[in-house]
Structure 1
Amino acid sequence: MKEHDTHVTRAWVLHPDLKGDRDRRDADMALEEAVALAAALPDLEVVGATVVPLRDPQPGTLFGSGKVAELKSVLKEAEAELVLVDGPVTPVQQRNLEKEWGVKLLDRTGLILEIFSDRAATREGVLQVEMAALSYQRTRLVRAWTHLERQRGGLGFVGGPGETQIEADRRAIDDQLVRLRRQLDKVVKTRELHRKARAKVPFPIVALVGYTNAGKSTLFNRLTGAEVLAKDMLFATLDPTMRAVRLPTGLDVILSDTVGFISDLPTELVAAFRATLEEVLAADIICHVRDISHPATEEQAQDVATILRSLGVDRDVPMIEVWNKIDLLDPEEHDGAQARAAREEHIFATSALTGEGLDVLLEAVTEKLQGAAIEEDLRLGFSEGKRRAWLFEKGFVVSEQQDEDGYLLHLRWTVQDRSRFETV
């Protein structure tokens, strides 16, 4: 249960379409994504959305005076309480627009932070969100976030102690950041211990990554039977969920579901969630899940590739593309996607919803993982000298202990090596 009341906030989404921006995305699709982002917050009702063409951003109000006045009447008529601007807004612009329109205002970074605060489930996730929110707040120098006053729950923009004592606020924020960093260091060390313990589990790691809402959690649920939140909602997963699962091919793996990526993810958030994506860095294979039915699927794939590079994902880690949601394509596109997947060995056309194509995908994952190194313990009796000698000869033995029953060997080898050993 949330700690705040259940008042539903009426929100209006604006997407500033910057005419001079060479990298600008299709305005209608960008607005649709911003509305979907807003829908990821529980106590919010989007009552309207507008693309605002913008040639010259105004330093004081972002939009020109005529547009500010026009939007004021639109917002008043809709009884909007919150405006979400899908882009960066300076503290001065925010203050002036809030005053002029009589509403609260959040920019894209603020909105994503609110979603992150609402979704983060692990101790580490909560700490990272708080740190990102504080860093963001420090640049605003105004309006403290209510994240400081409660552990979790969205809509921190409601309330706040106002704009007084900016210097004192800055010092308080800096002190809080130092305290959170210390806590985070401890949490990360604990996670490292857990990860080292897991490294001894003889299962390779399969990480699902992809643009937000690509269907990763639905695929994860289908493969694991896990009750992971899988709503048609942006950022439905914010903490990696790990499950040991036996694939239909008989191979045991650890499957990791991760936070969805998004275009223009604010840099402080990439940094804040780097540790949350550590499982991706440790993966033996990465499955890049794409919503192949989305009109901007190519741009989304580029955004995912950019973020993976910024995270330092090793190019040597095998990556396969899972073209998900083919059930939403028309028959001609569906057949085209399947034909492309048949031609290119790293592409698999699937539907996590119907199960189509998953058997082929899992066979390919199994095949690629047969060569992934795993660690495990093996007990041999004194009579198995020949098998023990074979293991040493192949260089698979990391360490060995002897007791009255025989030998306990700690091995590093592949699934294929294990199969060969069984014939020795």
Structure 2
Amino acid sequence: MNADDQGREAAHRPAGARLPPLLGVDDLDQLQAGLRQIAHAHDRMRALLGAVVTISGALELDVVLRTITESARTLVTARYAAIGILGEDHEFTSLITSGFGADQFRGPGGAQLPHGTGLLGELVRHPGPLRVDDLARHPRSAGFPEGHPVMTSLLGVPIRVRGTVYGNLYLADKEGGSFTEDDEDIVTALAGAAGVAIENARLFERLRQATEDFQRRLLPDLPRLPGLELRSRYQPSTDAPRIGGDWYDLIHLPDQVPCLMVGDVMGHGLEAATVMSQISNMLRVIAFDEQEPPSRILRRLDSVLHQLHGGPLATVLVARLEPAADGGRLLRWSSAGHLPPLLVTPDHRARYLHADTGLPLGVDPGLPRPDHEQAIPVGSTLLLHTDGLVEHPAHPIDEGMDRAAHIAATHTTRPLDHLCDALLAHEQALHDDVALLAARLTNG
């Protein structure tokens, strides 16, 4: 700036005004440190918000508890984390860990839960945030059981559900130093969100159990029949609890032939369950009256439903297991848009009996429905199921059917209960309800 410029600036400057002082190196360092603190606090709040969203999105209680433990450990960069669940007597009933396994430390009777005599018990007796920099020097420290990792520092906060302490969240050994007041605040905030998530998970479990109990009450008990070993399963979707329209049934007809039935009403909810109950009860009466063939039973059922209820959409399969001259059975069946039967023979072969499935009930009651036949040798197993067993949003239904057939083939000689359980032991969650009816031909 030359002399003329300085003169012009001085002329426009208010009288008595001074130029702001230039920032020194120390001032810049303080400013940068403050900005770093603001950025760090912002990052931690974002991490806390992300953890709360993740916890709130889980519905299974064990998943919620594991997520809380992992999230807390990550938020404060702790090496170890655990949630100790308390019973009504304020004793530990279970321990969920992260960074180490609860089975690492064992007592004479196996895996050992904390006794609550040391610092963990201090938090039980006085539920509030607890921060300890040096565990070895704390007067209430009781040491560690054999096999337990040695820990040096601790941060603990209670988790309350509806105002009652549900358990305690413990963090140990912060990376790079001791736990801070900010760590305590952020873990306390997480524990508050955890209490809400735990209560939601418990409500979800109660609702799912009530839904499953109601659904099972709609399904029949299987009769005891000579020459047949019978088993059934109903497994609800692992998604949000919903009453479904899947069912199975088996009755002994007046001509002494077992009649097997399985069906699935379109949709979920109370309406689907009501329609399912109406269809299954009506089908029982019509099958008992008509007896044969299965196609005529389905046509009459479709006609009656159309006249009384406007034709609700449902898939149904009706099958008769008639005596055969060789001691086996002749399977005669007809389908209204339902998946075919799965036949497992004693030679460890399993195949679906693909045939014309026809259209579901409720489409056109005047359409003809074909009957199909298949010889069933003694020792074979017949499986009727709904589509929830083989359908998955990420895979074609053919893959699910191939998987079911493979599992059935490998369990040919196993007890029928084992076969049913193996079919339902999905590696992935069930996205729809499953009704399964299994019949094995015996020599009896």
Question: What TM-score does the superposition give when structure 2 sets the normalisation length?
Answer: 0.22
Structure number with greater Rg is 2
Given the two structures, how large is their TM-score scaled by the length of structure 1?
0.22
